[in-house]
Amino acid sequence: EDQVTQSPEALRLQEGESSSLNCSYTVSGLRGLFWYRQDPGKGPEFLFTLYSAGEEKEKERLKATLTKKESFLHITAPKPEDSATYLCAVQAVGDSSYKLIFGSGTRLLVRP
């Protein structure tokens, strides 16, 4: 069964303390992996799409990487405004083009 697991469930960092969030996936074949950010009371907001192992994408303090079994979201020198829930989702080969399998998310809190 296709599955997406995110860890840790929650993470507390001091401002400036770099860390990584993990998204491991089990699918028959990967079409694409998506990262979203969700603030309280809002819908998820798109961050990155990765398609093949070895691919990397960057945006400000965030960098997403992909291997054949997992993806990492690296946060460098985070600021309090980076506090949010980060969601990972995969699209699997053989599934509908519109279907995404989401993980449960990592709640990130960055303290000043």
Partner 1 sequence: ETGVTQTPRHLVMGMTNKKSLKCEQHLGHNAMYWYKQSAKKPLELMFVYNFKEQTENNSVPSRFSPECPNSSHLFLHLHTLQPEDSALYLCASSPGQGREKLFFGSGTQLSVL
> What residues are paired with 49 via a beta bridge?
34
How many residues belong to the site for partner 1 (CB under 8 A)?
A: 24
Q: 14 or 97: whose CB is closer to partner 1?
A: 97
In whole angstroms, the minimum distance from the beta carbon of 68 to partner 1 comes to 19
Please choose, out of 45-53, 54-62, 63-71, 75-83, the segment that lies near partner 1 by the rule CB under 8 A: 45-53
CB within 8 Å of 2: residues ≥ 6 apart:
25, 26, 27, 28, 90, 92, 95, 101
> What residues are paired with 63 via a beta bridge?
58, 74
Q: Which of 11, 32, 55, 61 binds partner 1 (CB under 8 A)?
A: 32
Q: Which of 14, 42, 60, 112 binds partner 1 (CB under 8 A)?
A: 42
Residue with the two structure tokens 């291997």: 67
The dihedral built from the CA positions of residue 48, 50, 53 and 55, taken in this order, carries a sign that is negative
Q: Which of 91, 106, 108, 110 binds partner 1 (CB under 8 A)?
A: 91
| Residue 87 interacts with partner 1 (CB under 8 A): yes or no | yes
